[in-house]
């Protein structure tokens, strides 16, 4: 089966995860894809196929006789789509021999514009896969699943010599839970790759250091006619807190290795207000400085308005996986050689976010990220080509081949 054929079947399964819940998976619908994949793995002849109670699904291909001494490589992709844009009732559309121009996305009123997305010109002549403009497509990360499954089928049917291969598909990556309950002992991999990126020639081994910050602000409400010297408007204090952060260090004004403070949510009244931020930086020292900046603002606000006016809590989310990977760059070099075998120039780039691989690398499983060839993830303009899906599967096969030399 072609990778794009698998992909089209996977994206029709609703798997959106959910925020603000501690259960895993955060949504029961993710089990639907887990069950489908477990069945497909078994039918392909993979061994040790296992679904657990948290919607993780594992499958294995034993080493070719004589290759048992080769490292066991793992491939990981996630089941879920983002919670804040619909992934239900996905209607993918194939455009064969795409002309490189604008694409009207169903009756949604949205247009995939060649002017806004100039990379479309490079996709001319390929089979473009788009949404109808009302949902995500689900290439993040069902393209990764399709690439892994297609590579596994080819190994099993084409008698390609290989070491042991381990595959795991995880829930809840989009809400930061995906790697937490992955059973590393069951997986048994010496190292692994997440298949969860964009450009096919790019390998990611650097992520942000990440934290979430929550502000709770207590105001003092009194009749406005008698408020002088007494009223503390919590909403205005919240605005003051935000104004004390550097205005240029936000996602819309930063790139590459530049960090930021990102205000994700705010609410309030005169009496109470709240602010939610995410804090990001690739550099560990700068990351610590950003957290200290938040702490200093809390101190200054409480000195100005009274102790207890502002309460700050900071929760660390993940760390930059370059820290463990920098000592084992041969894992990245294997992926570079695999990409070069497809006639592309391999490159590395920092992820302006995080992946399951960040958590896994700190849990002891080195896990850089490779691309799927998809574009415009997390929204209605998401798209990919059938050809890129096949190339992603080829890169997985090439990694296995490089390890098995």
Compute the distance between CA of residue 80 and CA of residue 171 in angstroms, rounded to an integer.
6
Is 5 in contact with 25 (CB distance < 8 Å)? no
Instruction: Give the domain 3-206+320-403 fold.
Output: Aminopeptidase (3.40.630)
Concerning whether 173 is annotated as a catalytic residue, the answer is: yes
Q: Reply yes or no: is the peptide bond before residue 25 cis, omega within 30 of 0.
A: yes
Q: Using the Cα atoms of residue 240, residue 244, residue 246 and residue 249 in order, give the sign of their dihedral.
A: negative
**H or E element in which residue 151 lies:** helix 139-158
Total number of residues shown for the chain:
405
pLDDT of residue 352: 85
SS3 189: coil
Does the annotation mark 316 as catalytic?
A: no
pLDDT of 107:
95
pLDDT at residue 178 in the model: 82
How many angstroms separate the first and last alpha carbons of the chain?
A: 26
Taking each helix axis as running N to C, give the angle between helix 3-11 and helix 386-403, from 0 to 180 degrees, rounded to the nearest 10.
110
Closest CA to 404 of 239, 165, 86: 165
DSSP alpha helices (H): ranges in 126-221? 139-158, 184-187
Identify the pLDDT of residue 90: 95
Q: What is the reported pLDDT for 26? A: 96
Instruction: Say what the pTM is.
Output: 0.88
Residues 78, 197 contacting (CB under 8 angstroms): no
Tokens standing for 359?
């958590």
Where in the chain do CATH 3.30.70.360 domains reside?
209-317
Q: Is 185 exposed, middle or buried (0-12, 13-18, 19+ CB in 10 A)?
A: exposed
DSSP state of 375: B
Q: Of the residues 173, 196, 206, 281, which is catalytic?
A: 173
24, 30, 138 from 13: Cα distances, Å = 18, 8, 9
Torsion of CA 134, 135, 137, 142, to 10 degrees: -170
What is the spatial distance between Cα 268 and Cα 251, in angstroms, rounded to a whole number? 24
**371 and 198 Cβ atoms separated by less than 8 Å:** yes
80, 153, 196, 298: which is the annotated catalytic residue? Answer: 80
CATH 3.40.630.10 segments of the chain: 3-206+320-403
Spatial CA neighbour of 302 closest among 241, 243, 245: 241
What is the pLDDT tens value at each position of the chain, 405 positions in all? 999 999 999 999 999 999 888 899 999 999 999 999 999 999 999 999 999 999 999 999 999 999 999 999 999 999 999 998 889 999 999 999 999 999 999 999 999 999 999 999 999 999 999 999 999 999 999 999 999 999 999 999 998 899 999 999 999 999 888 888 999 999 999 999 999 988 999 999 999 999 999 999 999 999 899 999 999 999 999 999 999 999 999 999 999 899 999 999 999 999 999 999 999 999 999 999 999 999 999 999 999 999 999 999 999 888 899 999 999 999 999 999 999 999 999 999 998 877 889 889 999 999 999 999 999 999 999 999 999 999 999 999 999 999 998
* Domain at 209-317, CATH class: alpha beta
Q: Choose among 393, 401, 320: nearest CA to 144.
A: 393
């Amino acid at each position: 089966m072609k990778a794009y054929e698998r992909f089209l079947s996977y994206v029709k399964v609703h798997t959106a995860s959910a925020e603000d819940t501690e259960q895993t998976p955060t949504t029961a619908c993710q089990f639907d894809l887990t069950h489908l994949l477990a069945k497909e793995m078994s039918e392909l002849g993979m061994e040790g196929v296992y679904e657990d109670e948290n919607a993780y699904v594992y499958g294995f291909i034993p080493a070719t006789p004589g290759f048992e001494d080769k490292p066991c490589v793992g491939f990981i992709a996630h089941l879920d789509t983002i919670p804040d844009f619909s992934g239900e009732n996905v209607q993918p559309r194939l455009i064969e021999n795409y002309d490189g121009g604008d694409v009207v996305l169903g009756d949604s009123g949205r247009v995939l514009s060649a002017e806004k997305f100039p990379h479309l010109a490079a996709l001319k002549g390929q089979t473009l896969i788009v949404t109808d403009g009302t949902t995500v497509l689900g290439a993040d990360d069902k393209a990764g699943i399709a690439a892994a499954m297609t590579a596994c089928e080819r190994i099993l049917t084409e008698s390609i010599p290989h070491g042991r291969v381990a595959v795991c598909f995880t829930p809840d990556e989009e809400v930061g839970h995906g790697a937490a309950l992955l059973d590393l002992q069951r997986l048994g991999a010496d190292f692994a790759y997440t298949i969860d990126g964009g450009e096919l020639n790019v390998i990611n081994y650097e992520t942000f250091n990440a934290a979430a910050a929550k502000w709770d602000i207590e105001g003092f409400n009194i009749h406005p006619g008698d408020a002088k010297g007494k009223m503390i408007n919590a909403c205005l204090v919240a605005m003051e807190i935000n104004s004390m952060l550097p205005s240029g260090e936000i996602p819309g004004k930063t790139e590459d290795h530049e960090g930021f403070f990102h205000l994700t949510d705010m609410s309030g009244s005169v009496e109470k207000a709240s602010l939610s931020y995410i804090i990001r930086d690739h550099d560990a020292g700068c990351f610590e400085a950003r957290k200290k900046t938040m702490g200093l603002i809390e101190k200054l606000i409480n000195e100005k308005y009274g102790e207890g006016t502002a309460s700050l809590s900071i929760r660390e989310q993940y760390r930059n996986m370059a820290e463990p990977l920098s000592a084992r760059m041969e894992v990245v070099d294997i992926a570079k050689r695999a990409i070069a075998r497809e006639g592309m120039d391999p490159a590395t780039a920092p992820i302006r976010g995080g992946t399951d691989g960040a958590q896994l690398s700190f849990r002891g499983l080195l896990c850089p990220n490779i691309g799927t060839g998809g574009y415009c993830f997390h929204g209605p303009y998401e798209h990919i080509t059938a050809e890129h899906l096949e190339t992603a599967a080829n890169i997985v096969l090439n990694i296995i081949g490089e390890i098995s030399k």
